[in-house]
C-alpha cells in the first residue's frame, strides 16, 4: 500500500510540475540619473527569488571592465596607458548570429508560450522648450508603439498594454517606469531546453560525419 501511495505521489508531481507556472515580475524606474531594476521570480507563490539593484551596479557585476562616471565626479588626473576599446561592427554581429542564430527557434517557441499578465510603461519627457518637447513626445510614442507591437506579436498577451507619455514643457527631465508580469509553464521551459539540446546534438553529429577519416 505504501508503494502505491509513493508511486501515485511521484506520478502526480511529475504531472503537476510541468503544468505549473513561473511568474516573472519586472520593474524598471529611471528618475534623472537614478536607474533601478527589480526582478521577482516566483514559483507556486511560495518559492521566490528577488533582485533589486541599480542598473549601473548590475552592468558592472556582469561586465567588470565597464566603468561609469558623471560630469560631477571627473578624476583630476588622467590615467596613463591606452584604454581598452570595445567596438561593435556588422561583422561581429553577423558572427554572433551565425553562432547562435540557429537557436532562435527555441527562444521563439518559449516566447510564443509566455503570457503577458501586465505591461505598464509610463514616461515623462521635458526638454525645456515647447516644440522640442512635442517632437520628443511624438518620437517616444512611436518607439513605444513599435517595441510593444513587436513584443505582443511574439508573446501570448493576456492583458492589454498600458502606455502613456507625459510632456513637461517647463523643465528638462526624463522619467520612465516599466512594470510588467510574465507567466510561463515549466513544461514549456523544459521543452525549450530539449529543443536546444536536440539541435546541438544534431550539429555535433553533422560535424562528426563531415570530419575526414585519417585512414583515407
How do residues 151-205 score in pLDDT, each as one tens digit?
999 898 889 999 999 999 988 989 999 999 999 998 888 888 888 887 776 655 5
pLDDT for position 156: 87
pLDDT for position 80: 46
* pTM > 0.75: yes or no: no
Q: Which of 143, 150, 153 is closest to 123 using CA atoms?
A: 143
**Mean pLDDT, rounded, of the chain:** 77
69 vs 10, more confident: 10
**C-beta separation of 25 from 42 below 8 A:** yes
- CA pair distance 92, 90, nearest whole angstrom: 6
- CA pair distance 26, 40, nearest whole angstrom: 7
Amino acid at each position: 500500500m505504501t508503494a502505491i501511495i509513493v508511486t501515485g505521489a511521484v506520478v502526480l508531481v511529475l504531472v503537476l510540475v510541468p503544468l505549473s507556472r513561473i511568474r516573472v515580475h519586472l520593474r524598471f524606474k529611471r528618475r534623472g540619473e537614478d536607474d533601478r531594476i527589480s526582478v521577482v521570480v516566483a514559483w507556486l507563490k511560495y518559492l521566490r527569488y528577488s533582485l533589486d539593484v541599480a542598473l549601473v551596479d548590475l552592468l558592472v557585476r556582469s561586465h567588470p571592465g565597464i566603468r561609469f562616471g558623471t560630469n560631477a565626479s571627473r578624476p583630476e588626473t588622467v590615467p596613463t596607458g591606452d584604454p581598452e576599446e570595445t567596438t561593435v561592427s556588422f561583422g561581429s554581429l553577423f558572427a554572433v548570429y551565425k553562432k547562435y542564430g540557429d537557436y532562435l527557434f527555441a527562444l521563439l517557441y518559449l516566447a510564443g508560450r509566455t503570457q503577458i499578465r501586465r505591461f505598464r510603461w509610463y514616461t515623462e519627457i521635458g526638454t525645456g522648450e515647447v516644440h522640442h518637447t512635442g517632437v520628443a513626445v511624438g518620437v517616444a510614442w512611436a518607439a513605444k508603439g513599435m517595441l510593444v507591437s513587436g513584443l505582443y506579436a511574439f508573446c501570448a498577451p493576456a492583458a492589454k498594454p498600458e502606455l502613456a507619455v507625459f510632456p513637461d514643457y517647463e523643465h528638462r527631465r526624463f522619467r520612465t517606469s516599466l512594470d510588467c508580469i510574465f507567466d510561463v509553464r515549466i513544461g514549456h521551459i523544459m521543452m525549450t531546453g530539449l529543443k536546444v539540446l536536440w539541435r546541438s546534438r544534431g550539429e555535433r553529429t553533422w560535424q562528426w560525419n563531415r570530419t575526414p577519416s585519417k585512414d583515407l
